[in-house]
């Protein structure tokens, strides 16, 4: 699958996370913990480290602004979602269902 499929998936995941954040504030800590762990695992990847720092700053913003970033249908929103720190917030079965649905939508038989 190409970039368009990945972008559609990340936008859908962003929408789900944005909708769930008010009821799951622990997802913010999950995201911060992911960023810290990823930074420790990728010390020689300056591009990734910049992205991780950018997300850490975003996560300090009000919840409404975080949700707007997660759902922004802009180049900037797309860029940020490529390294979303919310891995683990959405149950893996839900992730698979979304990917399957979007893959089918892109290639109906």
d(CA 70, CA 18): 6
Contact present, 15 and 93 (Cβ < 8 Å): no
The per-residue pLDDT for range 5-42, each reduced to its tens digit, is 889 989 999 999 999 999 999 999 999 999 999 999 99
Cα dist. 71→10, 11, 12, 50, 59 in Å? 9, 6, 8, 21, 14
Band (pLDDT 50/70/90 cuts) for residue 103 is confident
Domain with 37 in it: 3-106
The per-residue pLDDT for range 49-94, each reduced to its tens digit, is 999 999 999 999 999 999 999 999 999 999 999 999 999 999 999 9
- The number of distinct structural domains making up the chain is 1
């Amino acid at each position: 699958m190409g970039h368009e499929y990945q972008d559609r998936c990340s936008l859908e995941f962003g929408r789900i996370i944005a909708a769930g954040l008010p009821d799951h504030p622990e997802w913010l800590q999950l995201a911060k913990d992911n960023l810290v762990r990823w930074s420790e695992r990728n010390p020689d990847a300056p591009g990734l480290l910049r992205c991780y720092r950018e997300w850490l700053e975003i996560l300090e913003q009000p919840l409404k602004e975080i949700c707007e970033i997660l759902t922004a249908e802009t180049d900037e929103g797309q860029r940020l979602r490529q390294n979303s720190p919310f891995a683990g917030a959405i149950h893996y079965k839900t992730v698979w269902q979304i990917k399957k649905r979007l893959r089918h939508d892109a290639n109906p038989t």
